[in-house]
Structure 1
Amino acid sequence: MEKERSNDQKHQNKQTKNSEELSESKNSSQVSTSFAFQQQFRRNSVQNQTTSERREVSVTDSSSFLLFAQIIVCGTLFGIATILLWQLPFSTRFRNRLEPVASMPVQQDELECSRTCRIQLVESIAQNLTFPVEYSQQPALSTFSAWNILINSAKNSLLIAAYKSSLRGKHVLGEQALKNISFQGEKMFEALISAGLDRGIQIKMVENAVAKDKGDNEDGNSLAKRGVLNRRVLNLQKIFNTGVMHSKVIVADNKHFYLGSANLDWRSLTHKMEMGVLVQDCPCLSRDLARIFEIYWQASEKKCAKEVQRMIQQMPPAFYNSQKPLAIFDGENNKLDVYLSASPRSLNSPRRSWDLNDIVEAIKNAKTFILIHVMDYFPMFLYTQKGKYWPPIDNAIREAILRGVKIKIISTALHFPNKGLGFLKSLEVLGERHSGGSVSVVS
């Protein structure tokens, strides 16, 4: 008995230590999934790039690699980054071909996926927001359109992971809310009802608990009560004493999926800037994302961290990771190596890549420039009793400046602006005092 108590105490101390190392913050104490692409071209220059005014993707002539990362830069136990590590399809010869890991035989369906997978950026742009002509020529597919494609084309199943479900404006604006304000969210609500009740699609939803703001979980509850879907809530506060489930995922028929920053919320469709990817005809990646969803689904029934840890040990390993990605070929026969990563590590199955490692590695590999678009920039523990600097991503950015990399950052500085702007100013000063690197901040 004393031995068991000792073991439990050691486990508790270890868990406490981990919580202190990666503690919760409002914006990034989250469960997440991420999407990564790797590619080797004749030129080895690497770019870490998010979007600027339109959050559109572009590259310069000096490089053939693009990194998009919507990074929430806070240290937390459940930190999310919705990440896209993306190689654009250029007509460029490869200097080297990345060979598959010998110990991981290529499956027949992987060969099929390598030719059929289609990946495209999708985005939400706030209504009445206009841009210069040069940024408006080829707008990306809208988040609304991407969700419509997935929900309305589903034949058998839909898996939905959502931080919130507030598709109808009435939950925030009242019963008299004008439908034209939230019309796209209303359409999505109706599409889910049609899929679940009229077409008999099996829909499973995992939603974060406990709801933070008014109306956050109302439509998930409503859809479950109507018999449209089977819903569970994942309360990480209850299990780990910290964290939220912040992933935004829709998987259709284990063949197509959306992964991005947009909440299942009317405001994410028409009133906010969001970005993600729509992946079609890609069962290999879709099944891997479904494995991440299954962890959320099973964890929602657990009562404590020990139960979750035992469950994780029994979960099947990730299909792909940074060491063993899925090879995809575009229309010009360029090879892209793709994998999913996730946070936190405590919910990652064996062989799953961790978000933070990928973000830091990408920043370290940048040679020319880095573009970052974030809601807030807080490299610190904000929601602990004693504020503490959290350096991994901030240090990587500072090292990039010293290497001569040019960095541009867009941040809303919405929460705790004095703290956030202080960190951003610090980066600007470092850039001003280094002849090679530079930092430009728009907030």
Structure 2
Amino acid sequence: MPSTYSRLHDGYDSGKGRWTGWVKLAVVLVCLTVLGVLLAFAVLKRPPAPKEHETLPQEAGGSNSSTDQCSMALVESIPQQVKYKANVTFGIPLENVWKDLMSMAKDSVEVASFYWSLTGEDIGVKSPSDMPGREILKELEELPSRNVSVRVVTSVPTVPTNSTDLEILKRKGLEVRKVDFGRLTRGVLHSKFWIVDRKHVFIGSANMDWRALTQVKELGVVVYNCSSLAKDLHKIFQSYWEMGQSHSSLPHPWPSKYDTAINKQHPLLVKTDNVSSRLYLTGSPPSFCPLSRTQDLEAIVSIISEAQHYVDVAVMEYFPTTRFEKPRRYWPFIDEAIRTAAFERKVKMRMLISCGRDSDPAMLPFLKSLASIDNPHQDVDIQIKLYIVPVGNQSDIPYTRVNHNKYMVTDKAAYIGTSNWSGDYFLTTAGVGLVVSQHAPHPVWKTKALQGQLRAVFDRDWSSEFAVDLADLGHHPDCALSR
């Protein structure tokens, strides 16, 4: 079919049709003139640019600008007897952050955790290393006496435990709900986060377990004075809380009060200490996410796909399959994103996978498969190491001495989550993540920007004596993958 230009041109050149062409041209010009007037009017009517401390409205494809003075910092727990060389980066100790959040609380504390086990008796162990857990439990008990309301959600099913924590807390006036994820989604509530006064947030790998404070390597992020983010995370907490009622059923769709204006398409924009940050929360499983919430899997795959130079991943488990449903299914989404980034875009991949006494040896073939496509001659760079926490004299404490981290950092973004990287965690199990994309002047990048801190922590672990190249594993008594 001829173009509009061609039809007008042909009409002008063809005798009687010449005037028809001119009429059509005139109509087009008039329409364009009217359109231009309307656009100019729209521009003139546009509201003035907001002042520095005003909140910007959300725009399609844009960001949500916040007046909150949000500040972020990495949080870590380093197992006892694990020592690093001097002059390396560390996050704030997890114990300090939890105690700090409780001391700051004026109105409310809301905690989501897979399970609770803050004393050694819960697992039949006597160890002085449970003292920080006991202190945390004691401080939680005392919050109601300060007129601070405390709500806790945890999972059904949960790990086998004789924990009495929740019964103690309920007697002290804390509200507790157990969410039957086994019935609702065939999964578990695996999220781990705190919300304090609807303005401070902690998200990370640590359950409410004394071992998370002294025996397991954990990583998370604390965000202070960030009401916009905290209120958004509260929507996720509230979805768990509602589903913790007896005879609850998943809504389809979720009511509008659970919708979010903060997601991958519209991140929260904050600027603090000369660092500009774009933030959004992610969630899983899909059945717990309103359409406006960016799902965990979507965020992880998009972060890998958008990286241009490097992707550093630290996770406890990596399986391109499901792990818990029967029969197991192949689940290649993250694996394909990694292979595509390395092979097609020549992005440098480094993966630090945990290996402990209880790690599943079935993970090893998948890691070897990924490592096998490393090819310097074709500029394909995939390096895989296993992080092994020495057991030492702590062998009597079960399910410890492991790197429980769940994060990723690239040249474009940082992701800190609560899920291991296998299919069930994104299909049936509840998890959350925080995505942070930052810009900052070079001098403040490593000290002020979370992305810079996270890259420095990854480099520290990657270069440490605890990281063993997959090809050099051999036999290691503290790593089940080597047996």
TM-score (norm 2): 0.64
The whole-number CA distance in structure 1 between the counterparts of 2:253 and 2:328 is: 33
Question: For the Cα contact (< 8 Å) 2:63–2:265, is it kept in 1?
Answer: no
| Deviation (angstroms), 1:350 | 4.0
Residue 173 (str. 1) matches residue 124 (str. 2)? yes
| Deviation (angstroms), 1:386 | 2.8
Structure 1 residue aligned with 2:11: none
Question: For the Cα contact (< 8 Å) 1:239–1:302, is it kept in 2?
Answer: no
Residue 441 (str. 1) matches residue 384 (str. 2)? yes
Structure 2 residue aligned with 1:154: 105
Question: For the Cα contact (< 8 Å) 1:413–1:421, is it kept in 2?
Answer: no
Question: For the Cα contact (< 8 Å) 1:401–1:434, is it kept in 2?
Answer: no
Question: For the Cα contact (< 8 Å) 1:377–1:413, is it kept in 2?
Answer: no
Structure 2 residue aligned with 1:309: 251
Structure 1 residue aligned with 2:194: 250
The whole-number CA distance in structure 1 between the counterparts of 2:67 and 2:313 is: 34
Structure 2 alignment gaps of length 5 or more: 1-55, 387-483
Question: For the Cα contact (< 8 Å) 1:100–1:324, is it kept in 2?
Answer: no
The whole-number CA distance in structure 1 between the counterparts of 2:302 and 2:321 is: 20
The Cα RMSD (Å) is: 2.2
Letter in 2 for 1:330: T
> Residues 132 and 201 of structure 1: is their aligned pair in 2 closer, same or farther, counting only changes over 3 Å?
same
Written as runs of structure 1 = structure 2, the 5 A alignment for 1:315-330 is: 315-330=257-272
Question: For the Cα contact (< 8 Å) 2:119–2:210, is it kept in 1?
Answer: yes
Structure 2 residue aligned with 1:119: 72
The 3-state SS of whatever aligns with 2:341 is: helix
Question: For the Cα contact (< 8 Å) 2:66–2:268, is it kept in 1?
Answer: no
The 3-state SS of whatever aligns with 1:364 is: helix
Question: For the Cα contact (< 8 Å) 2:63–2:269, is it kept in 1?
Answer: no
> How far does the alpha carbon of each residue in 1:373-401 deviate from its partner, in whole angstroms, 9 at most, with x for none?
11111110222333321010000011112
Structure 1 residue aligned with 2:234: 290
Structure 2 residue aligned with 1:44: none
Out of 369, 379, 386, the residue aligned to residue 327 of structure 2 is: 386
> How far does the alpha carbon of each residue in 1:163-212 deviate from its partner, in whole angstroms, 9 at most, with x for none?
111111111135xx24x21111011001101112x212110000111232
Residue 209 (str. 1) matches residue 156 (str. 2)? yes
Out of 68, 86, 100, the residue aligned to residue 133 of structure 1 is: 86
Letter in 2 for 1:213: P
The whole-number CA distance in structure 2 between the counterparts of 1:410 and 1:236 is: 30
Structure 1 residue aligned with 2:168: 222
The whole-number CA distance in structure 1 between the counterparts of 2:227 and 2:325 is: 41
| Deviation (angstroms), 1:120 | 0.8
Q: Which has the higher contact order (CA 8 A, sep 6+)?
A: 1
Out of 372, 375, 379, the residue aligned to residue 429 of structure 1 is: 372
| Deviation (angstroms), 1:337 | 1.2
The whole-number CA distance in structure 2 between the counterparts of 1:100 and 1:362 is: 26
Question: For the Cα contact (< 8 Å) 1:119–1:277, is it kept in 2?
Answer: yes
Letter in 1 for 2:204: G
Question: For the Cα contact (< 8 Å) 1:288–1:318, is it kept in 2?
Answer: yes
TM-score (norm 1): 0.70
Written as runs of structure 1 = structure 2, the 5 A alignment for 1:365-380 is: 365-380=306-321
> Residues 361 and 413 of structure 1: is their aligned pair in 2 closer, same or farther, counting only changes over 3 Å?
same
Letter in 1 for 2:214: T
Structure 1 residue aligned with 2:276: 335
The 3-state SS of whatever aligns with 1:151 is: helix
The whole-number CA distance in structure 2 between the counterparts of 1:441 and 1:263 is: 26
Structure 1 alignment gaps of length 5 or more: 1-98
> Residues 102 and 181 of structure 1: is their aligned pair in 2 closer, same or farther, counting only changes over 3 Å?
closer
Largest Rg, 1 or 2? 2
Q: Identity of counterpart residues, as a percentage?
A: 29
Out of 355, 359, 363, the residue aligned to residue 420 of structure 1 is: 363
The whole-number CA distance in structure 2 between the counterparts of 1:434 and 1:400 is: 17
> Residues 416 and 100 of structure 1: is their aligned pair in 2 closer, same or farther, counting only changes over 3 Å?
same
Residue 102 (str. 1) matches residue 47 (str. 2)? no
The whole-number CA distance in structure 2 between the counterparts of 1:251 and 1:433 is: 46
